[in-house]
Structure 1
Amino acid sequence: MKPVAIFRHSPTEGAGHFAQFLNQHVIPWHMIHIDQGEAVPADAGAFSGLVFMGGPMSVNDELPWIPPVLALIRDAYARDIPLLGHCLGGQLITKALGGVVGRNPAKELGWGKVHVSDNDTARAWFGNIEQFDSFHWHGETFSLPPGAVHLLSSAHCKNQAYAIGKHLAMQCHVEMTEQMIRDWCTAGADEIAASVGSPAVQSAEAMQQQMHDKLPELQRVASQLYRHWMHGLVH
């Protein structure tokens, strides 16, 4: 089986629980370290699926790796090679497929409840899950590109996830581990401090206090999504 390509855009925003899931299911994967200057592959056909993680940058920034990533996403989409995006990754998929990424009404940092949409596509991805506490770290949001079906929303962000066939794009972070949350709290201390008082922003202490209770359920939801996505992998 061809490996799953995982794109890392920041040292602290690795594959997390997703890599654990692939290892548990003995699915080969290859990390492409965009943050270390690794080249973007030109051919999506070398992989069984493409997965894009988060990052502090915007897809609207003039960064040299963004145009080739968008071209690779369009190549994969044309070949029906499954795409999976987490936060920045979801925004990259959105921009590549004709959607728009812009400022969200509120910055979301920390734990927050998301609600699953009432449609057949959402039920195919989430089963009987109707809502759950996800982790968030974003100031931008995406529109739904042509053909997308809405999957998730939160009180502060209307479009938290969508699917197009076997492709899944998320604004929220379901891939979290305890270490990732600790790392983000350290790296994002100034960002948290700048948004104190916002109803959608938690303190670092609150994020870490709640992770012990909320991470097991979040990882169960993530595994449900990854399992559904896995069935579309190209062999």
Structure 2
Amino acid sequence: MKSVVAFRHVAFEDLGIFEPVLEEFGYRIRYLDPGLLGPDALEALDVDSPELMVVLGGPIGANDEALYPFLGAELDAIRHRLDTGRPLLGICLGAQLIARALGGRVFPMPEKEIGFADLSLTREGQESSLRHIGNPDTVLHWHGDMFETPPGAVRLAYSHDCAHQAFAVGDSVLGLQFHLEADPGRIEQWLIGHAAELAGSGVDPVDIRQQALSLGPDLERRGQQVFREWLMAAEAANQLIPAAP
């Protein structure tokens, strides 16, 4: 059985709607919590063997290793994984860390981007698996920092307030600033877990809850289409044989 290791920073920001796709393709899912492991354990991790590595989101900054020392070791693990050329997916904080590992900058936005809002695709994005989202169409945003598309990567998407929303390096590395993986049916966990941030940003959780209810089924379908197609291409690029969906 193929395996995926997912770096998870808070319990509710998990693989979400991507989990059923991974099960279709015959993956065994293993979550790791870098903050609980600590720097020494992270340095000893085998990040070569898993057929897929995913670095998920979280409410800390990608530049905050002075405050959260495990981030330095996590960055080293990401750099090592990049050196292998094997499939790597980053979401929000995870995408920012991959961007840093590739030599790109991560910096604060003038205002946080939180809630369901439009995403637009570049020409390259329209030719990628992200085309299943639509152009433009609505996704869930939840971030206050932004990565710049790193050297050697291709910019795939942008929004009104964030010029860099997705990038790819070949078929094996994908970074998403937005939360395509989030399960709209579990949005209440996000609203509770990020209650202080919502209040500080003046974002009404009632609005997000209502949008998740109305947009959820279509978002889930499109998000799984994106992930399924990217995973198939990443497996093909690495000569992995996918299980029949």
Q: TM-score, normalised by structure 1?
A: 0.90
Kindly tell me the number of residue pairs found equivalent between the two proteins.
229
Establish whether residue 205 from structure 1 lines up as the match of residue 206 from structure 2.
Answer: yes
1:34 Cα deviation from its structure 2 partner: 2.2
1:44 to 43, 47, 57: 47
* Counterpart residue number, 1:55: 58
Secondary structure, counterpart of 2:211 in structure 1: helix
Tell whether 2:127 aligns with 1:126. Answer: no
Contact (CA 8 Å) 2:54, 2:89: kept in 1 or not?
yes
Q: 1:142: how far off?
A: 0.2
Q: Establish whether residue 68 from structure 1 lines up as the match of residue 69 from structure 2.
A: no
Hey, what does 1:152 align to over in structure 2? 157
Q: Compare 138-147 and 26-35 and name the one that shifted more.
A: 26-35
Is the contact made by 2:34 and 2:74 (CA closer than 8 Å) also made in structure 1? no
Within 5 Å, give how 1:29-178 maps onto structure 2: 29-37=29-37, 39-40=41-42, 42-62=45-65, 63-119=68-124, 122-127=126-131, 129-165=134-170, 166-178=172-184
Paired position in structure 2 for 1:214: 215
Residues 82-119 of structure 1 deviation map (CA, whole Å, 9 limit, x = unaligned)? 11011001011111111111101220111111011112
Report the alpha carbon displacement of residue 179 of structure 1 after superposing the two structures with TM.
4.8
**Cα distance, 1:127 vs structure 2:** 3.7
Structure 2 stretches of 5 or more lacking a match?
241-245
Alpha-carbon RMSD = 1.8
TM-score of the superposition, structure 2-length normalised?
Answer: 0.86
Question: CA separation in 2, counterparts of 1:229 and 1:76?
Answer: 18
Change (3 A) 1:127 1:188: closer
In 2, distance between residues paired with 1:50 and 1:151?
20
Q: Do the aligned residues in 2 keep the contact of 1:91 with 1:171 (CA within 8 Å)?
A: yes
Shift in Å at residue 37 of structure 1?
Answer: 2.9
By how many angstroms is 1:122 displaced? 3.9
Aligned to 2:224: 223
Contact 2:103 2:150 in 1 (8 A): yes
- The one-letter amino acid paired with 1:223 is Q
